[in-house]
Amino acid sequence: MSKVKILTGAGIIAAGSLFSGIKTPDFGLVFPSFAKTGTTITPTDTTKIFPQALDTIETLSKRKALKVYHRFEEIPAISDKEAILYNKNEYTYIINADKYQKNGTIELKRVLKKELTKANTLSLIYRSECATYTPKAEEDQLVKYEIDLKLINPTGKFKGPSQMNDIGVLFFIKYLAANPKTRQYVLPLLKTKDGTKTEDVAKRLEQKFFTPESKIRNMDEREAVIASPVYQNLRLKDNAWQLLASKNLKRFIAKEEAKRHKTLTNTTKNYLLLTELFPSEQEFQNSLEEYNLAFFPLARPGKPKVVMQTLAQGLNLKNKEGNLDATRLPTFAIAASLSHINWQGNGLKALLDVKRKGRFITSQDKIQQRLRSIVKAWVCGKSKTYGVDELAKLNIITPDIIRQYQKIELPGAEELAFNYQKEVIKAEQNLERKKMLAKAKEAPSETLMLRTIDFKTR
């Protein structure tokens, strides 16, 4: 009997034993808060994927990113065979927003991270206040702004890319003091009302905002802290900027004051100083985004989660468990509600609008068109067109958007994150099985394979 080049017996045994012991992959996009639920996922029938695993990968090659995409149907998918060539940090999974918003179904697509838009629920906040520009071909067409952390509006009242007034800046600094990751940057700006050591008060504030496991407490718990003595005890040093600002920053402040023919407030100057105390602009921006999502709405009526909950009730949007699901609303509407409360100080107008006008949206087909006209009244400036209209082109739900929905505490966000995680795990398990079969195929092929027919009596 001649030797044949086929999958070896050793390879088949190895692959079989690996299938029986396969574990849930440690994939970066899995939300760790859901790991403790112990979700059981039924392995895919290996006979269905076995022929695919035997396909050669010699003709495949890693694909370079072409451009940034915003439509689910347009962004190229990475197949299971192609995914073998990539590291897990090079790709991610996205959800078809059209299908999800229509019936709650999660349809995943594996895509290159470099080809995925960075547009999200914070896009509208920055859109009107930051400098716009024409992006290059490989840049994100929906993210058309350059963030200026030192931005100050013409009156000098509002500062930063999300345009905070003095009260907002003080709240932001207190959040940074409560957060152990950023506390070191703001302690030089703070003092206490009763003379207690600033760091000790900041640590007590941390306990009220975060759990012992460093997880953020729910919004209702954090909102109650605003009126507490420990929160009120932290004060801003008026002269901190004079002592700590660089010569360049002091020249910048003088220039801004001359431009307006007025003196900027000490709080404004301390905010500008804060941009120097952080080790990088990106770290500062990340902290500002966290604040805008999870802390800015505290103690403010008409929170984005309340506005979207009311709208979802009017449209009868629910998940498979029958619970109210505001994540099935278009991302541009959720983003507009967040921008509205940021700019107006409360979301009462948005809440009134959805109560009065939301009931006139009578069909799924009219949600996009009708909602766009409603939410444009919540934003200002360029955001009416370049924010709402352009974000309406996005029909992709990204992992970043899901995380932001969770930060806002949008009704249905936890369920969406959990169900997304389950689908990602399934996709990754299938991929791991195919990788193992591909490796088994590459094993030495000179091993003798005996068949039943070889033992038959001649």
Q: What is the pLDDT of residues 244-296, one digit of tens each?
A: 999 999 999 999 999 999 999 999 999 999 999 999 999 999 999 999 999 99
C-alpha closest to that of 333 among 374, 273, 362: 374
Return the sign of the alpha-carbon dihedral for residues 23, 27, 29, 32: positive
Contact 22, 406 (CB under 8 A): no
pLDDT confidence band for 446 (50 / 70 / 90): low
pLDDT at 418 over 90: yes
pLDDT in tens, 160-176: 999 999 999 999 999 99
**Range of weakest confidence among 244-248, 320-324, 405-409:** 320-324
pLDDT given at position 363: 63
pLDDT at 4 over 80: no
Residue 130 identity: C
Q: Counting Cβ atoms within 10 Å, is residue 249 exposed (0-12), middle (13-18) or buried (19+)? A: middle
C-alpha closest to that of 273 among 297, 237, 300: 237
**The whole model's pTM is what?**
0.83
pLDDT given at position 58: 55
User: Average pLDDT in the 354-364 region?
Assistant: 75
